[in-house]
C-alpha cells in the first residue's frame, strides 16, 4: 500500500505562480554567443554584443549620427532615386522592388551621404545600408558616393 494515493488526473498540473508576460522587442539574442541582451543597452553600444563583441547590423543613419558631433548630419542628394533604365526583369520588377525597399527602410537608395562635423571639423560622409536591396550599387549610389568636396 502506497503512502500517498496516485493522482487520478495525470495531465498537466496547475501552476501555482502566474507566468510573467515579457513585452516583445525588449531583448535580442546575440547570433554569435547566444547571450540575451537588453535592446536599450545594445543600441547604446552601437549594436555590438557586450559579451563577445559581435557586430550586428546598424542602419546607415545610425552609423552617420554616431560618428557626427551633436550638430548632426546634413543629407545631400536626398531627392535622388533609382530608375529602371535597363528594364531589368525577374520574379519581381525592379521598380516594384525599389518601391518595397523604400517603404521597408524609409530610404531612397542604399547610400546616404552628406555633410557632418567630427570634433568640430566639417567632413563629407557616406554610409551604405545593406537593408536597401542588399546595398546594391546603381547610379544613385555612385552619385552619392563620389564625395562632396566640390559642394558647399
Neighbours of 52 (CB within 10 A): 12
Residue 122 has pLDDT above 90, yes or no: yes
Is pTM beyond 0.75 here?
no
Question: How far apart (Å, rounded) are the C-alpha atoms in residues 145 and 4?
Answer: 77
Under the banding of pLDDT at 50, 70 and 90, the label for residue 150 is very low
Give a three-class secondary structure readout of the chain. CCCCCCCCCCCCCCCCCCCCCCCCCCEEECCCCCCEEEHHHHHHCCCECCCCCCECCCCHHHHHHHHCCCCCEEEECCCCCCCCCCCCCCCCCHHHHHHHHHHHHCCCCCEEEEEEEECCEEEEEEEECCCCHHHCCCHHHHHHHCCCCCCC
Under the banding of pLDDT at 50, 70 and 90, the label for residue 38 is very high
Amino acid at each position: 500500500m502506497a503512502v500517498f494515493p496516485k493522482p487520478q488526473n495525470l495531465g498537466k498540473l496547475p501552476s501555482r505562480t502566474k507566468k510573467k508576460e515579457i513585452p516583445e522587442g525588449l531583448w535580442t539574442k546575440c547570433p554569435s554567443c547566444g547571450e540575451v541582451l537588453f535592446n536599450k543597452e545594445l543600441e547604446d553600444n552601437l549594436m555590438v554584443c557586450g559579451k563577445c563583441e559581435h557586430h550586428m547590423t546598424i542602419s546607415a543613419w545610425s552609423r552617420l549620427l554616431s560618428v557626427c558631433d551633436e550638430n548632426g548630419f546634413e543629407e545631400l542628394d536626398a531627392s535622388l532615386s533609382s530608375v529602371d533604365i535597363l528594364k531589368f526583369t525577374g520574379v519581381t520588377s525592379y521598380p516594384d522592388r525599389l518601391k518595397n525597399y523604400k517603404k521597408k527602410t524609409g530610404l531612397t537608395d542604399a547610400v546616404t551621404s552628406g555633410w557632418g562635423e567630427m570634433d568640430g571639423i566639417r567632413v563629407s560622409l557616406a554610409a551604405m545600408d545593406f537593408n536597401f536591396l542588399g546595398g546594391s550599387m546603381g547610379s544613385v549610389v555612385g552619385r552619392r558616393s563620389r564625395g562632396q568636396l566640390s559642394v558647399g
